[in-house]
Amino acid sequence: MTAEQVVEDSPQARRREQRGWYFYDWANSAFPTTVLTVFLGPYLTTIAETAAQGRPYVDVLWFDVRPSAYYSFVVGTAAILQIILMPIAGALADHTGRKKELMGLFAYLGAGATMCFWFLSDGRYLLGGALFVTASTAFASAFVIYNSFLPEISTPDERDKVSARGWGFGYLGGGLLLAVNLVLFLGHKSFGVTEGQAVRIALSSAGLWWAGFTIIPLLRLRNRRALPSGAESAGQAVAGSFRQLGRTIVELRRYPLTLGFLVAYLIYNDGVQTVISFSATYADKELELGQSVQIGAILMVQFVAFGGALLLGRLAASYGAKRVVMSALVGWTAVVGVAYFLPKGSAPAFFALGFAIAIVMGGTQALSRSLYSHVIPAGKEAEYYSLYEISDKGSTFLGSFTLALALQLTDSYRLGIISLVIFFVVGFVLLAAVNLPKAIRAAGNEVPDRV
């Protein structure tokens, strides 16, 4: 048995690993903020329009696709691949015991593909799509394994605080890099680069940031499980992982309360993700606010969400994570209700709403992650977190469909945003119905003092 397999579990050793674990959130948050939220969508659409040369379509694997729809097509393809590959990555991590190595593999695959966005120019829309699918799929697979470390590096009573700090660090790290990249983009002439070059620098910098800071968790985190005796080929490991994943899916029926939590999370997280993704459109089309206001709000949300995650994590220590998440869902309901009445052209009102969103956003996500860690059986953390992330990815379809249906029937952005209240109300009811202490005991885990 190697020294790494004999893991010291002292408070000092746990804190060392926890500090390293936080830095992966810091590292990978550059991808969703700089790449997904701001720069890639508009730039890749422009690249596709350039390649079309005035034609209504571009060729994508023998299909005619409108340039305006190309980015959505790529995002949908990536989501399907993530849903397929995340459980495989989780099962492989649990089956082999090589969590740290696999997290590093997926992280550097994603970071490398992101750095290659520098070459995205001159109508290379297919290259951009392939790089995005690779990067986003690797991002999701690494994040599954990263999440699965949480119950291993923290005691039951520490998890809310640790999860909240990790999420907070992610908002702070992603926000810092995004701020630098926005300065470059908005002042690109003074830096002597074109707008396109500024975007490519921003996109590739996210990969460099991701790769550089991933070194810290890889040095600090340690594999818990003893590795299987004897050499195992890659094919045998993958086959064994598929068998283990199948057993886990069948076994989930033995944990109906865990499944109930997953369904509740799917519903209310659907509302969270749809509000976040729809905010910019709502600000532009309904509130008639300019791009500078939207960019300012994005930056503010990143930094306020850091404080929000820590604040709600501290409240969870006093009142229990479930109660705080349910209170946050009430807050989300209020936010959506207020959004319906926001006056056109009022930037201060939009910033105030963004501030409220930031406070509840980080805590909702961080505490949901820590709550889930209590209701999954030991030794199968990565597999169960892959199901958790699938709930996250799958829920976007429900929210988008609901919003699209509301807009189709009413042609009103205000009625569209208010329609999302249903997700927070139903999610609240379903979460309230889950007996968490019973679910934790059923999974064979220790019930914390407050949950």
Strand-pair partners of 64: 59
Give first-to-last CA distance, the chain, whole Å: 36
Whether 116 shows a pLDDT value over 70: the answer reads yes
Whether 197 shows a pLDDT value over 90: the answer reads yes
Residue type (1 letter), 277: S
Whether 407 shows a pLDDT value over 80: the answer reads no
Helix ranges (H only) for 320-410 are: 321-340, 347-374, 381-410
Read off the pLDDT of residues 33-74 as tens digits, 9 standing for 90 and up. 999 888 888 888 889 888 888 888 888 888 888 887 788 788
Structural domains of the chain sorted by starting position, each given as residue range(s) with its CATH number in brackets: 7-225+232-247 (1.20.1250.20), 255-450 (1.20.1250.20)
Mean of the per-residue pLDDT values for the chain?
86
Whether 2 shows a pLDDT value over 60: the answer reads no
Whether 3 shows a pLDDT value over 50: the answer reads no
Tokens 């209504």, residue located: 56
Sequence-distant (≥ 6) Cβ neighbours of residue 409 within 8 angstroms = none
Closest of 331, 340, 330 to residue 410, by C-alpha: 340
Q: What is the mean pLDDT of residues 413-442?
A: 92
Q: 381-410 and 421-433 helices cross at what angle (nearest 10)?
A: 150
Q: What is the mean pLDDT of residues 156-177?
A: 92
CA atoms within 13 A on the CB side of 351: 12
Q: What is the mean pLDDT of residues 327-331?
A: 95
Question: What confidence score (pLDDT) does residue 4 get?
Answer: 43
Q: What is the mean pLDDT of residues 232-261?
A: 75
Of 177-186, 243-252, 424-433, which range is least confident?
A: 243-252
Q: Are 102 and 96 in contact (CB under 8 A)?
A: yes
Can you say how many angstroms the Cα of residue 208 is from the centroid of all Cα atoms in its chain? Answer: 19
Q: Are 145 and 103 in contact (CB under 8 A)?
A: yes
Whether 398 shows a pLDDT value over 90: the answer reads no
Q: Which residue has the higher pLDDT, 146 or 13?
A: 146
Closest of 328, 294, 309 to residue 25, by C-alpha: 309
Closest of 103, 141, 117, 102 to residue 41, by C-alpha: 117
Sequence-distant (≥ 6) Cβ neighbours of residue 22 within 8 angstroms = 165, 166, 169
Read off the pLDDT of residues 359-391 as tens digits, 9 standing for 90 and up. 998 889 889 999 999 999 887 788 788 878 876
Most confident of 219-228, 239-248, 280-289, 334-343: 334-343
Greatest alpha-carbon span in the chain: 67
Of 38-47, 186-195, 284-293, 342-351, which range is least confident?
A: 284-293
